[in-house]
Amino acid sequence: MTTQYHPTPLKRVFAFLRNTWRGLTSMRTALVLLFLLALAAMPGALLPQRNLNVAKTDEYIAAHGWWGELLDRTQFFEVYGSVWFSAIYLLLMISLIGCLAPRSLEYAKAMRAKPVLTPRKLSRMPHHVSATIDRTPETVMEDTHALLKGWRRVEHEDADGTRSISAERGYLRETGNLVFHFGMLGLIIFFALGKLFGYEGQVIVQADNSQWCNSGILGYDTFNAGLRVDGTELNAFCIRLKDFEARYTESGQANYYHSNMEYQSGEDLKTGAWKPYGLEVNSPLRTAGDRVYLLNFGYSPKFTVTFPDGTVRTNITPWRPADEPTKLSEGATKIDQPGIADPIERRTRQLAITGLLAPTAFLHGNVLTSSRPEANKPAVAVDIYRGDLGLDAGRGQSIFQIDQSLVADGRLKKLTRQNLDLGQETVLDDGTKVRFDGVQEWVAIQVSHDPVQGWVLGCAVVMLLGLAGSLLVKRRRVWVRVSPAREDEAGTVIEVAGLARTDQAGYGEEFQRISAKLVQGQRGN
């Protein structure tokens, strides 16, 4: 007769949960998840990523049609924030916790436990030695205790008078293992916190003693904030860059960037005192809990415009490098004619100077190129436009370009195209003079804020130490059994057996050394 087992729904749910939990926390699942994690991380190295390079990502999507669209919709261009990547590492974290919790309990128990009793058949152990010696069991036991100092030992006497010592060492292996995994858990948590509470922003600052303050998002050209950062209450500090110097090898390779700067933070903001700092690529300024990095540099052409009524305007606008090795730059300098009150009238008189800037000019026929990145012989090749720049339209526009749609519908008219060397000027149709007066360096800086990165580093160091312990320490056991020899023989029978509890190879050599000493009756190492 069979009785059918009918579990209640509650029990069924419980069984399902329990089995899911067991499945999720098994080593096999952890392995599969590790593979999935490795696999899922790969597209991030192979495909352009939006957080690293927006332009390249858009280009890639445009070039690959529906395939690019599909990849975009399935979050392949922001892999590390994608649903599927997050799902894998969350599962892995749960699996990790599920594995660590029982292991920690077991570990706590094991730390108090005594080594297991000596097995009956020592000869079944992977390492085994036995010999008949002419020392008494007492001296052998004493020698064993002396030799196995530092091992956790327990002595036992059987009913038939045989005595044995069970010894174990290498508990640090499991300690290291747990420390490593807890360190990793901490690292992941702090990493996530850093993403929530951190921010980074980039801004171009002229290296002519201009002041820049970390006062809000609007001060930045680009700003990436964590979810918990709204852009107010940024850490207050101000900087000003006094100069910038770059040096190059003969082949044009950069080998030195340096900007003498000053900064103020904390008390200095009230007193107005400035502290000096030498900003370089590998040495960011660390102040007020933020870091200031030197990212890149470029040139701003200096144009002096003399309007027909005699007013003079000087403008220094950053142009961006179009070719990094030679710093051939492109950009647009936009100038409002002063002294015109009527906004409509003003919108017909705005000037734009746009084109190329070569720090060391070299003419291919009439085409301007740059032969070196230093500002040895600066020159510009520019188009000059007049009309409505669209600056009042309320629409954001690039500081490096003019709005081409305004040129297309005739609101912005090209007046002339000119190559200007240092100090040369061109006269426009209405008598306005535009003179090229040289270049000024600008520096692109990045401000980064991550309140918990020190904790991440701490966790990483803990992980590394744990890892070393868990891989280099061997968990191993030694048993020694001493019994009087059989009646027809003299002396004592000593049996030594050993077992490495992990798959750590190389215990054989240590065991041979220990057993040889025990058999020969040496103490100490």
Partner 1 sequence: MPINETLSQYSDYSYTTATAIYVIALMFALIEQGFGAKGRLAAERSIQRSRDLIGAGGPPSTPPAYGTPIEPSREIGRPERIGRMGAALLVLAALLHLAAIVLRGLAVHRAPWGNLYEYGMATTFVAVVTWLVIMRKFPVRHLTGFLLLPVVILMFVNGTMLYTTAAPVQPALQSYWVIIHVSAAIIGSGVFLVPGVASVLYLFRAAHDDDPAKFAKFGSKLPAADVLDRIAYRTTIFAFPVFTFGVLCGAVWAEAAWGRFWGWDPKETVAFVAWVVYAAYLHSRATAGWRGKRAAIINIVGFSATIFNMFFVNLVTSGLHSYAGG
Kindly list the residues in this chain that would bind partner 1 in the complex (CB under 8 A): 27-28, 30-31, 34-35, 37-38, 41-42, 44-46, 49, 51-52, 79-80, 122-131, 191, 200, 249, 251, 253-257, 280-284, 291, 293, 295, 446, 448, 450, 453, 456-457, 460-461, 463-464, 467-468, 471-472, 495, 502-503, 505-506, 508, 512, 515-516, 519
Strand order in the sheet with 152-157: 127-133, 492-500, 476-484, 163-169, 152-157
Write down the least CB distance from residue 153 to partner 1, Å.
22
Tell me the CB-side half-sphere exposure of residue 314, using CA atoms within 13 A. 7
Q: Report the residue number, 353 or 456, with the smaller CB distance to partner 1.
A: 456
Report whether 196 contacts 228 (CB < 8 A).
Answer: yes
Write down the least CB distance from residue 64 to partner 1, Å.
16
Phi, psi angles (nearest 5°) of residue 121:
-105, 90
Structure tokens at 276: 């000096």
Residues 6+ apart with CB under 8 A from 459: 183, 184, 186, 187, 190
Q: Report the residue number, 118 or 515, with the smaller CB distance to partner 1.
A: 515
* Angstrom distance (rounded) from CA 480 to CA 151: 13
CA dist 38 to 34, 76, 95, Å? 6, 15, 16
Report whether 368 contacts 356 (CB < 8 A).
Answer: yes
Nearest to 102 by CA among 37, 159, 27: 27
Tell me the CB-side half-sphere exposure of residue 60, using CA atoms within 13 A. 16
DSSP 280: B
Write down the least CB distance from residue 481 to partner 1, Å.
11
Structure tokens at 409: 């519908």
Structure tokens at 7: 């579990």
Q: Report the residue number, 19 or 283, with the smaller CB distance to partner 1.
A: 283
Nearest to 514 by CA among 477, 474, 472: 477
Q: Report the residue number, 17 or 516, with the smaller CB distance to partner 1.
A: 516
Report whether 91 contacts 130 (CB < 8 A).
Answer: no
Nearest to 347 by CA among 357, 339, 337: 337
* Angstrom distance (rounded) from CA 449 to CA 452: 9
Q: Report the residue number, 324 or 430, with the smaller CB distance to partner 1.
A: 324
CA dist 334 to 38, 43, 63, 264, 398, Å? 50, 42, 33, 32, 11
Cα angle 288, 459, 104 (rounded to 5 degrees) comes to: 145
Structure tokens at 497: 């057996």
Q: Report the residue number, 181 or 240, with the smaller CB distance to partner 1.
A: 181
Q: Report the residue number, 145 or 501, with the smaller CB distance to partner 1.
A: 501
Residues 6+ apart with CB under 8 A from 252: 325, 326, 372, 373
Report whether 282 contacts 275 (CB < 8 A).
Answer: no
CA dist 188 to 45, 104, 177, 452, 459, Å? 20, 19, 17, 12, 9
* Angstrom distance (rounded) from CA 434 to CA 306: 7
Q: Report the residue number, 333 or 515, with the smaller CB distance to partner 1.
A: 515
Write down the least CB distance from residue 289 to partner 1, Å.
14
3-class DSSP assignment, residue 211: strand
Q: Report the residue number, 127 or 240, with the smaller CB distance to partner 1.
A: 127
Write down the least CB distance from residue 129 to partner 1, Å.
4
Q: Report the residue number, 311 or 512, with the smaller CB distance to partner 1.
A: 512
Q: Report the residue number, 108 or 457, with the smaller CB distance to partner 1.
A: 457
Write down the least CB distance from residue 515 to partner 1, Å.
6
Report whether 189 contacts 463 (CB < 8 A).
Answer: no
Q: Report the residue number, 396 or 506, with the smaller CB distance to partner 1.
A: 506
